[in-house]
Structure 1
Amino acid sequence: MERYIDNKDLDGLKKYFKEKIINTEKNTLLKNSLIHDLGNLELMELKGLLLTKLLTAVEKKIDIQIEIPEKIDSINMDIIDLSRMIGILIDNAIEASIECENPFINLAIMKTNDNSVLMIIENNFTNTLDIHQLYKNHYSTKKGKRGYGLNNVKDILNNYPNVLMNTSIEENIFIQEIEIR
């Protein structure tokens, strides 16, 4: 900044300030906000994964809303399987919402009255989806060799009779609800 001032390059200083200083400060504030919003999630492996994925979403200009109203310190599922599953679902949410005019992802993790944990991932999308085909191997709305993610989620879920998953669509909002009993 000193060089811009010494050279009386006000336009260069403005550009540098907007592109470097302001953007860095915004990213720091967003990162701190995400860390705060994930504060009640005490499963470090899942918290780290979510932070990484959601920061990627923020970098892609996706609006993120997180709701974790109370401490979540245990989930009745292997953490690696849970992380794989949530990672796939968040990746899909990012890919789908980025194509929208005002992309967003909403994430909620909460305890239910019967001590289950309910995880909800919502995102907007533009593609036409056949909800009955989503979990089949090789089904994808995207080009290329794809269509393994949700099939992998289905395979993981087959090992957990205590985990229920509901997929729905409401007015171009894709909703994944996972209840872990």
Structure 2
Amino acid sequence: MTISLITVFGYTVVYYLIWLIMFMSVFMMLKEYNDNLDLHLLKQKYEDTINLNQAVSQQYEQVRHRQHDIKNLLIDLQGQIKANQSDTALKMIQDQLEATPEITMMPEVEANLNKITSSGIQNVIRRHLYEILAVGASVNIEVSAIINFCLEDEIKLARIIGILLDNARDALKDQENGVFQLSMSRFDAETVVLAVRNSIDQSVDVNQMIKNKFSTKDNHHGYGLTNIREIVNGDDHFNLEIETSEHFVTVELYMRGAR
């Protein structure tokens, strides 16, 4: 009887040892699998980070070289203008912009543009409207008063308008019946309001736009609107407001000191 109990006990111990070994083996296999998976994901993330850094580095180099090119072009233009060679200077600008010699909009659009006394701002708006029309969107512009800008504000305004209209064009290019509206009016005696409104193909939350760096699309970085924020936040003469509805995004720029 004693030998029998010992035998049973021995078999029981061996049985549980086998199960323990099997359990430990499965556990170690799963742990190794998870470790390998984590290592693979970490490696993939590292490679993605390296690729992103390389892409950013290349873009930075392109921007840096482009800045030198622009500086040299401006120096060249300065010399042409000082020598009263305006035709040569204009041709150089047209070659850089790859633009047609002249763009004329519909009469009602031109009538509103002519209320802006700055020919530079007129030209910025005109060329961007031409690009928006080229993607098939309908365009409406209304300038309710004669608007003057000082030189410093005009330079900043040209940057802001260019960014806003570029962003609107990007949002409109995939829409079948896109709508674009631009208005410029007086808020009071010292303040002018520029409103840019464009249709969107999906509802957008303002907080989500801010999270996406002021883009209406998750996969679009929207650095342009981030640059506008930086310009506006660094100047007491400007204030920016963004409003969204189910089908439209409206950006309003308040400019103090315009005449």
135 and 83 in structure 1: CA distance in 2 versus 1, 3 angstrom threshold:
farther
Report the counterpart of residue 15 of structure 1 in structure 2.
none
Percent identity between matched residues is 24
What is the 5 A alignment of 1:91-102?
A: 91-102=166-177
Mapped contact 1:109–1:117 kept (Cα < 8 A): yes
Higher helix proportion: 2
1:127-173 Cα shifts (integer Å, max 9, x gaps): 453422434575641646x3311110111111112311110012311
Q: Are residues 1:131 and 2:206 paired?
A: yes
Report the counterpart of residue 108 of structure 1 in structure 2.
183
**Aligned with residue 53 of structure 1, among 88, 109, 128:** 128
Alignment length (residue pairs): 153
Any unmatched runs of 5+ in structure 1? 1-27
Q: Are residues 1:38 and 2:113 paired?
A: yes
Larger RCO (CA under 8 A, 6+ residues apart):
1
**Aligned with residue 149 of structure 1, among 212, 224, 230:** 224
Higher strand proportion: 1
Q: Which moved more, 1:132-141 or 1:79-88?
A: 132-141
What secondary structure is seen at the aligned counterpart in 1 of 2:206? coil
**Counterpart code for 2:222:** G
152 and 99 in structure 1: CA distance in 2 versus 1, 3 angstrom threshold:
same
34 and 131 in structure 1: CA distance in 2 versus 1, 3 angstrom threshold:
same
119 and 76 in structure 1: CA distance in 2 versus 1, 3 angstrom threshold:
farther
What secondary structure is seen at the aligned counterpart in 1 of 2:229? helix
Q: 1:35 & 1:125 partners in 2: Cα distance?
A: 26
What is the 5 A alignment of 1:64-75?
A: 64-74=139-149
What is the 5 A alignment of 1:6-25?
A: none
- State the Cα RMSD in Å: 2.4
Q: 1:139 & 1:70 partners in 2: Cα distance?
A: 29
**Counterpart code for 2:200:** F
TM-score normalised according to structure 1 size: 0.73
Q: 1:180 & 1:83 partners in 2: Cα distance?
A: 13
Q: CA deviation at 1:67?
A: 0.4
TM-score normalised according to structure 2 size: 0.53
Structure of higher CA gyration radius:
2
Report the counterpart of residue 237 of structure 2 in structure 1.
162
Q: 1:165 & 1:176 partners in 2: Cα distance?
A: 7
Q: 1:127 & 1:80 partners in 2: Cα distance?
A: 33
Report the counterpart of residue 118 of structure 1 in structure 2.
193
**Counterpart code for 2:233:** N
Q: Are residues 1:175 and 2:250 paired?
A: yes
Report the counterpart of residue 62 of structure 1 in structure 2.
137
